[in-house]
């Protein structure tokens, strides 16, 4: 996966997590995931369509998600509470929204779907032309994982190239 | 991070010039969490939550029902997106004051919203001081106006 696609997600996650959780973050492991995706805790999925297509999953270990929700709610919340899933969805919305804003500034155009809670343990395997990258962000509240599976839309790329040559 | 106590110290309450009553807000976002977060900021600004909606269709109904002073509108929502809701509300109510609040802040989106009648745009995560200044600007822009008690201007 090209760095031009990855860097906006790193920048956006770093900025959004620091701003919303009021803490510093550090980028931990970055891995290409060749096996199917395995959820760590509470996860939200956002689908992307356009010049780049795929999906991004923001995944927080359960204890981290509870801490994040408690910080944002300003009060302790229970692990089973709906607000924990809501918090992760909104964090995903902000991280991915900010990342696609940066990608749009680079000339990529796409549409972002509202985030959905991703409850399945696994099952989202990459395809031959879709690489999957997993980034870990270390925060004082625990680890936050960003799982990115995207590919260039070839038809849209051809259309863009045609427009340029015309 | 949003800290209500800190915000209360920082911001003087905004009230309508015409009757000194709290500014009335309609908050539109498919995320309950985001709506609660904005509602807490509104409370901290001395405002009143007139209504809430989770999609564009409900936003139109709620606008007609509550006639708010200002709308805070998300863009990416199920059923009907925020930009279409802005167009429909402004078509019926040209005086409507709508501020887009979205994590997707690229130029095409902002331009489309402004062309349909939105007055301003703020990107998520929302910083309370930024939202406060935008609300003051938008409400003062067309003569409705907001009052800030003397000596209590935003520090």
Chain-chain contact of A16 with B33 (C-beta, under 8 angstroms): no
Cα dist. A2→A57, A148, A150, B98 in Å? 18, 12, 10, 38
Residue A93 CB coordination number (10 Å): 29
Whether B9 maps to a domain, the answer reads: no
Cα dist. B141→B28, B115, B133 in Å? 22, 17, 12
B10-52 pLDDT, tens per residue? 888 888 888 889 999 999 999 988 999 999 999 999 999 999 9
Q: How far is A83 from chain B (nearest CA, A)?
A: 7
Q: Please provide the distance, in angstroms rounded to a whole number, between the alpha carbons at the two ends of chain A.
A: 29
Cα dist. A92→A27, A44, A73, B107 in Å? 17, 6, 17, 21
**Residue A118's pLDDT band (boundaries 50, 70, 90)?**
confident
Whether B145 maps to a domain, the answer reads: no
Three-state secondary structure call for residue B48? strand
- Mean pLDDT within A116-144: 80
Residue ranges in chain A assigned as alpha helix (H): 3-21, 62-73, 82-105, 154-165
Closest CB to B104 among A19, A87, A101: A101
Is B104 an interface residue toward A (CB < 8 Å)? Answer: yes
Which two tokens mark B6? 């800190």
Distance CA B87, CA A58 (A): 32
Residue ranges in A62-153 assigned as alpha helix (H): 62-73, 82-105
Is A16 an interface residue toward B (CB < 8 Å)? Answer: yes
Which pLDDT value is given to residue B155?
Answer: 44
Whether B40 maps to a domain, the answer reads: yes
Closest CB to B125 among A16, A101, A109: A16
Position B55 pLDDT exceeds 70: yes
Whether B30 maps to a domain, the answer reads: yes
Chain-chain contact of A98 with B31 (C-beta, under 8 angstroms): no
Closest CB to A105 among B31, B103, B106: B106
Whether B3 maps to a domain, the answer reads: no
Based on the structure, what is the number of domains in chain B? Answer: 1
CATH at B78: 3.40.50.2300
Which two tokens mark A73? 């709610």
Position A160 pLDDT exceeds 60: no
Weakest mean pLDDT among A36-40, A82-86, B139-143, B148-152: B148-152
Distance CA A40, CA A60 (A): 7
Q: In chain B, whose CA is at the least distance from the CA of A13?
A: B125
ipTM, 2 decimals?
0.78
Whether B127 maps to a domain, the answer reads: yes
| Residues making up chain B, counted from first to last | 155
Q: Are B83 and B109 in contact (CB under 8 A)?
A: yes
Which pLDDT value is given to residue A82?
Answer: 87
Whether B147 maps to a domain, the answer reads: no
Domain ranges across chain A:
3-165
Q: Higher confidence at residue A35 or residue B112?
A: B112
- Mean pLDDT within B56-82: 95
Interface test with B, best of A25, A42, A94, A117 (most B CBs within 10 A): A94
- Mean pLDDT within A86-110: 91
Q: Higher confidence at residue B105 or residue B74?
A: B74
Distance CA B36, CA A72 (A): 10
Q: Which of 3.40.50.2300, 3.40.1550.10, 3.20.20.100, 2.40.10.220 would CATH assign to domain A3-165?
A: 3.40.1550.10
Residue B15, beta-bridge partner list: B22, B147
- The answer for A 18-57 residues in CB contact with B (under 8 A) is 19-22
B89-145 pLDDT, tens per residue? 999 999 999 999 999 888 888 999 999 999 999 999 999 999 999 999 999 865 556
**Residue B146's pLDDT band (boundaries 50, 70, 90)?**
low
Distance CA A110, CA A50 (A): 4
Range of the domain at B26: 17-138
pTM over 0.80: yes
Which two tokens mark A13? 């996650």
Closest CB to B30 among A16, A104, A114: A114
A72-94 pLDDT, tens per residue? 887 888 877 888 999 999 999 99
Question: Which residue matches tokens 């709290």?
Answer: B22
Residue A46, beta-bridge partner list: A56
Q: Could you tell me which residues come within 8 angstroms of residue A59 by beta carbon, excluding any fewer than 6 positions away?
A: A39, A40, A41, A42, A43, A118, A144, A145, A146, A147
Whether B51 maps to a domain, the answer reads: yes
**CB < 8 Å to B37, chain A:** 72, 90
């Amino acid at each position: 996966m090209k760095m031009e696609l990855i860097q906006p997600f790193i920048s956006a996650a770093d900025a959004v997590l620091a701003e919303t959780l009021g803490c510093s973050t550090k980028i931990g492991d970055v891995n290409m995931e060749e096996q199917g995706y395995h959820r760590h805790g509470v996860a939200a999925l956002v689908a992307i369509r356009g010049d780049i297509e795929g999906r991004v999953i923001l995944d927080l270990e359960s204890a981290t998600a509870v801490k994040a929700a408690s910080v944002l709610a300003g009060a302790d919340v229970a692990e089973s509470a709906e607000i924990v899933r809501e918090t992760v969805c909104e964090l995903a919305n902000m991280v991915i929204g900010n990342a696609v804003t940066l990608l749009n500034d680079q000339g990529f155009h796409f549409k972002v779907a509202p985030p959905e809670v991703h409850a399945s343990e696994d099952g989202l395997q990459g395809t031959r032309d879709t690489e999957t990258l997993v980034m870990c962000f270390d925060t004082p509240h625990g680890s936050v994982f960003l799982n990115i599976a995207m590919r260039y839309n070839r038809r849209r790329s051809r259309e863009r190239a045609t427009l340029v040559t015309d | 991070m949003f800290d209500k106590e800190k915000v209360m110290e920082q911001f003087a309450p905004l009230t309508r010039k015409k009757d000194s009553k709290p500014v009335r807000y309609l908050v539109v976002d498919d995320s309950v969490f985001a709506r609660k977060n904005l509602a807490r900021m509104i409370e901290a600004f001395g405002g009143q939550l007139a209504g809430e909606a989770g999609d564009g269709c409900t936003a139109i109904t709620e606008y007609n029902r509550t006639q708010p002073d200002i709308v805070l509108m998300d863009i990416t929502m199920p059923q009907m997106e925020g930009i279409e809701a802005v167009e429909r509300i402004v078509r019926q109510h040209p005086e409507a004051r709508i501020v887009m609040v979205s994590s997707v802040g690229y130029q095409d989106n902002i331009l489309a919203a402004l062309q349909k009648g939105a007055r301003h745009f703020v990107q998520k995560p929302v910083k309370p001081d930024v939202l406060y200044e935008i609300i003051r600007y938008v409400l003062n822009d067309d003569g409705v106006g907001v009052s800030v008690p003397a000596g209590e201007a935003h520090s």
